[in-house]
Amino acid sequence: MSGTKSATKRTGPAAFALAYISSMRLYYAFVTGIAGWIGVSFYSYISATPELSVRNIGILAILFLSWGINQIINDYLGLPEDRINAPNRPMVTGELNAALAVRLSAVLMAGVVVLSWFLNPWSVIPILLGVLLNVLYEYAKAWSLTGNLIFGLSIAMCTIYGFLAAGPVPSPAFTTNRVSVFILVTVMNGLMTYFTYFKDYTGDKAAGKNTFIVRHGLRTARVAGVLGAFLPTILFLLFVWTGWIPSGDILYAQNFVFCGVMTVFLQFWTAVLYYMHPQGRRTYFSLVTNIRACVAGQVTLIAIFNGTLALYLFAASYVFVGFLFDLYKDARS
C-alpha cells in the first residue's frame, strides 16, 4: 500500500486481492460506516431493540465495506485524472486488472442487493440510488459544487440504508428530525469531498473537471473552505432553532457537547490546513484530519440519542482512521 512501486508487476489471485484491497482505501470506510450507523442506531433507539444484534452487525459490515467496493468504480471512471493526480494507484499502474475489478465489485453489489432484499425490500432503494449517484458523481465533478452535493447525497444513502435494513419501516417514515439528519450528513460529506479536491487540482484541471477549485482558483477556494467549515454547525443550530431537531436536553448533554465541540474544531482545523497547504505533499496528508472531521460530525449526530455509543465510536474512529491512513505513505497513490 505504500512505498515505491516495483518495476515487476505481481500476478495471480493473491496479487489481485492485495491490489483490490489497496484500491478500496479503507481509511475512508468510517465515512460510509458511521453514516450508516446513524440509521442503525436510531432504529434501535426508537424500537428498543439491541444495538449490536447479528442482523445489525451484518448491516454495519456491509456499510463499512461499501466505500471500498464503490471506490473501484470511482477509480475506473476517474482514470484520466488519476493518471496525473495518483499515477501510482494500482489501477493506473496496471497492478489491478480494471475490468476484473469492476466485475468483482458488481458481483459484490449484487450480493448486497439480494441480502438486503431479505432484510427489508425497501432497503434496496438506497443501494440502487447510491450506486447511481456514485456513477453520476464522476461526471458531476465537472459541474462545480454540484459534484460535492452528489457525493454528499450518495453517502447519505448509507444513513437511509442503515435505518431501513434494521427492521420494518416505522410510521411515519419521514419526520423533520430525520430529514434534518439526512441534510446534515449530505452537507458534511459534501464539505469533506470539497477539501479532497485540493490534492486533485492539477489532474482535474487537465481532465476538464471544473470543480469549484478549478473554476475559481486556489486563492478563492481556500477562503471558501474556511467559511464553509462552519456550514454544518450553522445548519444544525438552525434545525434546533426551528424545532426540526427537538433540542430537549441535548445541548446540555456532556457526551453530545464534547463530540460537537471536537467536530467544530476538526472542521475548522481542516480548513486551516488546506488554506495553508493547498498544494504539495501536506495537502495529501491533511486528508486524515479531513476524514476525521467528517466522521466526528456523523458521530455527533449519534450522540443526540446515544451519547455513550458516540464516545466509543469517536475514539475508535479517530484511532483507526489514522492507523489505516498510515498504511498509505505514497501521496501519489
250-305 pLDDT per residue, tens? 665 789 999 999 999 999 999 999 999 999 889 999 999 999 999 999 999 999 98
* Residue 3 placed within a domain: no
Angle at 296 between CA 291 and CA 298, to 5 degrees: 100
At 3 the pLDDT is 45
Contact 137, 74 (CB under 8 A): yes
Nearest to 119 by CA among 64, 175, 40: 40
Could you read off the pLDDT of 195-252 as tens digits, one per residue? 999 998 988 888 888 899 999 999 999 999 999 999 999 999 999 999 998 876 666 5
Domain count, the chain: 1
At 159 the pLDDT is 97
Contact 86, 25 (CB under 8 A): no
* Residue 332 placed within a domain: no
Mean pLDDT of 118-124: 96
Q: How far out from the chain centre does Cα 302 lie?
A: 16
At 292 the pLDDT is 98
* Residue 292 placed within a domain: yes
Q: For a pLDDT cut of 70, what percent of the chain falls above it?
A: 95
Domain assignment of residue 260, given as a range:
13-325
* Residue 99 placed within a domain: yes
At 316 the pLDDT is 97
* Residue 1 placed within a domain: no
Q: How many angstroms separate the CA atoms of 308 and 289, rounded?
A: 23
Q: Is the pLDDT of residue 319 over 70?
A: yes
pTM for the full predicted model: 0.92
* Residue 260 placed within a domain: yes
Q: Is the pLDDT of residue 7 over 70?
A: no
- AA identity, residue 174: F
Contact 235, 167 (CB under 8 A): no
Q: What is the CA radius of gyration of the chain?
A: 19
* Residue 297 placed within a domain: yes
- AA identity, residue 177: N
